[in-house]
Amino acid sequence: MLFQYSRGTPSRMMHFDGSSFWHVLFPAHALILLVALCLDAGFGYPALLQRRLGHPVQWIGALITLLERCGNRPAFPPRLQRVFGIVSMILLLAVTVLPAIGMTCLALRWFPLWSVMLLSALPVSALIAQKSLYQHVAAVAEGLHRHGLSGGREAVAMIVGRDVAVLDEAGISRAAIESLAENFSDGVVAPALWCLLAGLPGIVAYKAINTADSMIGHLSPRYAMFGWAAARLDDLVNLPASRLAALCLALAARQRRAEAFTAIRRDAGLHRSPNAGWPEAAMAGALGLRLAGPRLYHGVAVEDAWMGHGRKDADVGDILRALGLFRRACLLLWLLVLLTLIAAVAFG
């Protein structure tokens, strides 16, 4: 018997055998993910919860800040800084993932599987960024259209870390499009993939690693050693998702699919990041643009390869085209999850 309920006690604990992942958990994860994707696209993270409680990523960020203050001391030798960075990542994952595992196990003990799946979709949807990403990038186009460079710079500063004061309209537009491409991978595809593989604990683990990388995974003197573990883990967990994100963007490119795949094949491996180049190259080829290239961070020029062989002079219209491509790529991701669910149920 695949699973059974204990009768005669208040508990409904489910007993899984060794094949239960493919027969029960994998289809359950796929259904949770599909519901969560719909919830996020339709409603996003509720503004009331944002005001009252903050966002789960903010909670993770506060924990990372605490660990960094305790463990990252300039007086420590570099090797010790790296060790404390590794220990901090272990503590971060323990504090975030173990409660997710515990809540999942307790829910499965006391409630039917279908209700656990519906309840799990709520926190999972909070950790996927379809709607918020779309809104932030659309705000850049709106800012440029209504308020010119000042409005565009103010809006794009919310989603990129580069120096925006020196950006013209083309630079602002490229920055917004690059952020859309990279965050489609980091904020949508990767969380979805880890939810599919490991449910709520999987997506929580991914967001903890990704948030740590964004906060401490830099090459600056302060974080080069302490953030080493966060950066390496983030590279690892984003490896499959970045390729899948590039595939979704290329397939969603309609008449420019061939150009998107050509850009991926030619340029993705040239990017300084092992993962960011894949969705950025796909986006560049799909839109006929050149993305990435040299950038300025805190007054320091950072050299990078160009993705794509198209125009550098992007504008508001290109941002809007990129948003349309993003919507189609999200729909393709939904379709892939639905097909995965159908296959898991039919052949599991």
**Statement: residue 21 has pLDDT above 60:** no
Q: Which of 209, 188, 206 is nearest to 198 (CA)?
A: 206
**Statement: residue 58 has pLDDT above 50:** yes
List the domain boundaries for the chain.
20-347
Average pLDDT, stretch 103-125? 88
Percent of the chain with pLDDT over 70: 93
- Give the per-residue pLDDT at 240: 98
**Statement: residue 74 has pLDDT above 60:** yes
Residue 270: φ, ψ to 5°: -85, -15
* Cα torsion 316, 333, 133, 37: sign: positive
pLDDT classification of 299: cutoffs 50, 70, 90: confident
Whole-number average pLDDT of the chain = 91
Query: CA-CA distances (angstroms) from residue 190 to 63, 125, 186, 206?
Result: 22, 13, 5, 8
pLDDT classification of 9: cutoffs 50, 70, 90: very low
Q: Is 51 exposed, middle or buried (0-12, 13-18, 19+ CB in 10 A)?
A: exposed
**Statement: residue 306 has pLDDT above 50:** yes
- Cα–Cα distance, 202 to 344 (Å, whole number): 19
Q: Which of 3-12, 34-43, 116-125 has the lowest mean pLDDT?
A: 3-12
- Give the per-residue pLDDT at 4: 37
- Give the per-residue pLDDT at 8: 37
- Cα–Cα distance, 211 to 223 (Å, whole number): 14
Average pLDDT, stretch 76-99? 96
User: How many residues appear in the chain?
Assistant: 348
Residue at 49: amino acid letter? L
- Give the per-residue pLDDT at 25: 82
Average pLDDT, stretch 228-244? 98
Cβ atoms of residues 133 and 153 within 8 Å? no
Q: Which of 167, 183, 176, 169 is nearest to 295 (CA)?
A: 167
